[in-house]
A and B are shown apart, each in its own frame.
Chain A
Amino acid sequence: MTETIVSSTLAARAETAIKIYGHGDTEVHALRGVTVGFERGQFTAIMGPSGSGKSTLMHCMAGLDRLTSGETYIGDTTLSQLSDKNLTLLRREKVGFIFQSYNLIPTLTAKENITLPLDLAGSDGDQAWIDEVITTTGLGDRVSHRPNELSGGQQQRVAVARALASRPEIIFGDEPTGNLDSRTSAEILDFMRRAVRELGQTIVMVTHDPVSASYSDRVLFLTDGQIVDEMSNPTPETVFDKMKTLGD
């Protein structure tokens, strides 16, 4: 764990990322040349008003969507040069996802959902690591239950654990607490922070909630497809003040 903290290489980065949707009159510039890097073992929050391009940035960096121009990297891998199949394999091995609406498979148990990425890859994974992840979720014997038998918070903890299961290079979260009440949100964010601090993971999350952002190590502010500011060791108040100046 100390090793990853010492390492200063970046888990993922983007260089002059440009993303344009549509053509002609309906052209939308979602990203206007974003250059950014995410340190290993860091918890980063991306903030910005609606339509600022924060989700687009995350999708492109995670290999879910392709840039119009520019380049994104996961570790040393250049994403634009990968075929759809290799991109899929890269996601499977090096990227984890946490979705706003949990996106658990209702027909699989919590444990089966957690090991799903490994099963898809046909690998057993690191059993000790998986046990550790499952223990960290604090679900106990509820891991053999179906998602609909779990509370919202528990479901999202399963979703986070699923992202952790394959011990990816980087985990992306899309408003991971958007569907949760504030107490459950705190619990999930705390869980994510522990994954970074104690398990040495790298997490990037998109949010528009200053409280959520305050759990991160670093906050990036996006407006009109450009990074306009960043902040280290944020608190809810400083983030809130910053957001006001951005005119959310």
Chain B
Amino acid sequence: MTMLKLSARNIRASVGRLVLTILAVTAGVGFVTGSFILADSLSDTFSGIFESAASQTDASVQLAGLEFGEDDQTLSDSVVAALEELPETARVTPIVTITDQFTPFVILDAAGEEVKPRGPPILTFSWDGREVESAIALAEGRSPAALDEVVINTEYAVAADVAVGDQVNFLTPDGQQTFTLVGTVDFPVSAGAFFVLFDFESAQTLYGKEGLVDTVELAAAPGVSAEELIAAAERVVPSEAEVINQAEVIEQSLEDFNQFIGIFRNVLLAFAGIALFVSLFIIYNTFAILVNQRIQQIGMLRAIGATGRQIRFSILAEAALVGLIGAVLGLAAGFGVAFLIKAAFQAAGGFPETGNVITTTTVLVAFLVGVGATVLSALGPAFLASRVSPVAAMRNEAGGDRGQHRRIIGGLVCLAVGLVLLGLGLFLGGQQTSVLLIELAVGAILTFVGVALLSVLFAGPIVNFIGRAEVLGTSLLVLGASLLVFMFTVGDGLPDGVVSWVTFPIKVAVSTIAILTGLSILISKSRGSGFGLGGSAAGLEGQLAKRNAGRSPQRTAATATALTIGVALVATVGTVGESLKASFTDSLERGVQADLFIYDEEGQGSFSGDLADRLEGVAGLAELSRFRANELRLADGDVVNMFAYETGTGESVIDLGIVAGSLEGTADNGMLVFVDEAEERGLLVGDSLVVDFPDLQSETLTVVGLFEDNSVLGVPFIIDLDLYEQHISNDDDVFVGAAIEEGTSVESVKAAVVAVTAEFSGVTAQDNEEFLNAQEGQIDGLITLINFMLGFALFTAFLGVVNTIVLSVVERTREIGLLRAVGTTRAQMRAVIRWEAVIVCLFGALVGIVLGVLFAWAAVTAIPDGIISRMALPYETVIFAILVAALAGVVAAALPARRAARLNVLDAISTS
């Protein structure tokens, strides 16, 4: 009990020192609970809607699920009349829809431009005007009733600037058509999607589904049970249809959705895990420092009879209490995190309006993670504390480098195991990519821990080097200047897009500050004066700062660790991303031959073969190649994706990069296989394999070539278009490439092509450069999103830096008092702490970048060449990261520096 009381009192007494640690726990827990809250809220909102939507329905008639190869079947709307005649039905609602997102109905504005949502699709289906609570409600006007009437959702009306009563021009699968907007509806969870609704009969006509129905919703007559209704319905529906009950309707709606939520949650949790990993280091550091500061107290407790177990217990109890507080705050922070992520997704495209759902699981996880992580991190320091010799109480100083040997041995072991794992992953062939990546991840974590523990050994010399005025000044100057150079040469130059408008001025400011500071240090160094920007690093303050940072490598290493993790993560992601982009660009530039590309950029769907037919007539087009996609079933039952194109002309559009065999024979029941796929399935050129086509006919195909450039198509198998047409009647293309006649200008031909594509909603025509930019832009977007997620880990890392600097100032109270006593001014004192922080942060950033690039190299090597073939360094990001780290040092030191400067000299000296 005493020890518990002591733990509680210790926390209260050192609450200032623990605040940042608690914040670190809060950040980690907050991210984890935020992920749960967001996923649960999404899940809850959607199940609510699906349940609500199905609440008025007792059963549903639809086509039975399709097996591979089964032809798309249709359900005749004669079933509707049959169902209506049943005495068991009170309501029979037929619905038709277009499930393919790429042939929607799009509003054209006055200028003839398509009005589309950013990211989410346009959905269209028939609506009988029935409102369903929390799913659909009429906002204005009435429901559609005639062929020329339409209803859209309020968001779409606002975006297209149309009002009820207006004549609205639509692009439809049958070309342009005008409808009267008779009403608007609200969908509480539209997720940014736009909706276009017609009455049932009109929709049948407009969708080209005359006499057909997709789903029939049934409500039972009073006194009729769902079972009776289903039994009655089953008697009248045709054999290809099935009748399912309400629960199955909900289940079917939720199935795909829950899978998506699961992935979404796991991705968020992966990033949360990274943030938590950073928190673990911070907690460990704090407790290691606290134990060191209390060594005399612990020694005294041991001397007067506290057992090692009691000491250990008191430290762990303190950790558990810190974890508990952090968990409670983290739960609250979780709502904030959920809000931020939601806002980010909303800005990037769309995200449904959801409530905030907190489940028992979330609360349990928060406490488990908060208390668990804190206690786990405090284990090491707690064990060290329990080994404090009672004689320590008699000494009048805080403990020195205790446990140094153990730390170095532990570091060597971690580093060795980590490097072996990395090596195994890299050089031991024949492993699955997933196993390999886990091997690399564990290897990277162990290597990191190893280096963090061992950095005590090299922190001193490196810090002494960085801390030299001429080195510090020159590096700041050079780094600042080269950031500017990179931004305007290698980089994108002036900003285009929201993200770069935010980062651009920041980068310019950071580089300017670095250049000015570097110059000021160098100038004051050459003048031999201590004058400079905020107490120059060239003066006495810089000397003191350097010695401080170099004197206790252990403290320096501990402070730097948090930042090292953050920078290492950014460097890893940045380098992998840059390599991905470089490989992708290489492969695209090599592979993409055509002058014009016609495809559905946003929906990535297919479009009618009519488009290509009509392009045949466009003047100036030399060659046209259609690409179609479908599935094949292999002998082992695997259903795989397949592309088909006209061999002979297709090569002028896309160079596949044949690495074995040749294109010859493709037209003669040949098949091209992606190298990685061939490796995985053990396929060689010349192998024959039997495949099933969707019409369930088998063909024996021969592997004629292996290709390596897959950045445009992204499929494992390619066959000839003739063979495709023999088995598949659907003539939709996913992609059309065109070469123009020599001597004609791309612009004029493109204009002619666009005139045709404009009639096909969703389809874009791009020239070679536009196409490359669009493809690369997708990768940039991905990297930006990942960096945003890493931001949480970086924020935690920053807390860690502030934390250790605060603690080290507290630890050195007496020494600071001495400096002040012999005449150091407050401004000088602040400069000492500030420069020390800058030096330590630079050290952390350097180690982080070296590790990050090493990890990225490992990842790049491990990832198949088809995805990443070469390594590229993101120079701009790397330099920016180093400079930001230095700046983070200045910011992090602000508070501790103030504290140090304000210390009462006499009190500080008498502190023991």
Contacts and interface: CB of A to CB of B under 8 A. Distances in A.
28 contacts: A55-B394, A64-B389, A65-B389, A65-B391, A91-B304, A91-B305, A92-B304, A92-B305, A92-B306, A93-B305, A97-B393, A99-B303, A100-B396, A101-B296, A103-B296, A105-B6, A105-B9, A105-B301, A106-B13, A107-B6, A107-B9, A107-B13, A108-B9, A117-B305, A120-B2, A120-B304, A121-B305, A166-B305
Contacts of A55: 394
A120 B9 contact: no
Contacts of A119: 1-2
Contacts of B302: 88
Contact of A116 (B10, B296, B304, B307): B304
B303 A97 contact: yes
A59 interface: yes
Contacts of A89: 305, 307
Q: Which of A62, A85, A99 has its CB near the most chain B CB atoms (within 10 A)? A: A99
Interface in B1-43: 1-3, 5-6, 9-10, 12-13
A75 B169 CA distance: 105
Interface in A10-48: none
Given A99-B394, A101-B396, A107 B305 contact: no
Interface in A93-136: 93, 96-97, 99-101, 103, 105-108, 116-117, 119-122
A193 interface: no
The list of the 10 closest CB pairs from A to B, nearest first, reads A92-B305, A107-B9, A119-B2, A103-B300, A64-B390, A107-B13, A117-B304, A91-B305, A88-B307, A120-B306
Interface in A41-85: 55, 59, 62, 64-65, 84-85
B852 interface: no
A205 B349 CA distance: 78
Contacts of A96: 304
B391 A59 contact: yes
Contact of B394 (A84, A92, A107, A174): A174
Nearest to A162: B304
A96 B305 CA distance: 9
B313 to A, nearest CB: 11
A14 to B, nearest CB: 17
B912 interface: yes
Interface in B397-448: none
A245 B150 CA distance: 115
B134 interface: no
B383 to A, nearest CB: 14
Interface in B265-312: 296-297, 300-308, 310
Contacts of B1: 119, 122
Nearest to B912: A101
Contacts of A174: 394
B8 to A, nearest CB: 9
A85 B312 CA distance: 14
Q: Which of A59, A100, A120 has its CB near the most chain B CB atoms (within 10 A)? A: A120
A120 B5 CA distance: 11
Given A108-B6, A119-B2, A103 B393 contact: yes
A117 to B, nearest CB: 5
Interface in B877-891: none
Nearest to B11: A107
Nearest to B303: A97
Q: Which of B5, B300, B301, B396 has its CB near the most chain A CB atoms (within 10 A)? A: B300
A59 B2 CA distance: 26
B296 A88 contact: no
Nearest to B305: A92
A96 B12 CA distance: 29
Contact of A120 (B308, B310, B393): B310
B304 A97 contact: yes
Interface string B609-625: 00000000000000000
Contacts of A103: 296-297, 300, 393
Contacts of B308: 84-85, 88
Nearest to B310: A120
Contacts of B390: 64, 91
A107 B300 CA distance: 14
A100 B300 CA distance: 11
Contact of B301 (A101, A107, A120, A122): A120
B600 to A, nearest CB: 69
Contacts of A99: 300, 303, 393-394
Q: Which of B301, B303, B306, B310 has its CB near the most chain A CB atoms (within 10 A)? A: B303
Given A101-B912, A174-B394, 11 more contacts: A55-B394, A62-B303, A64-B389, A64-B391, A91-B303, A96-B304, A99-B393, A105-B301, A108-B6, A116-B304, A121-B305
Nearest to A115: B2
A166 B305 CA distance: 11
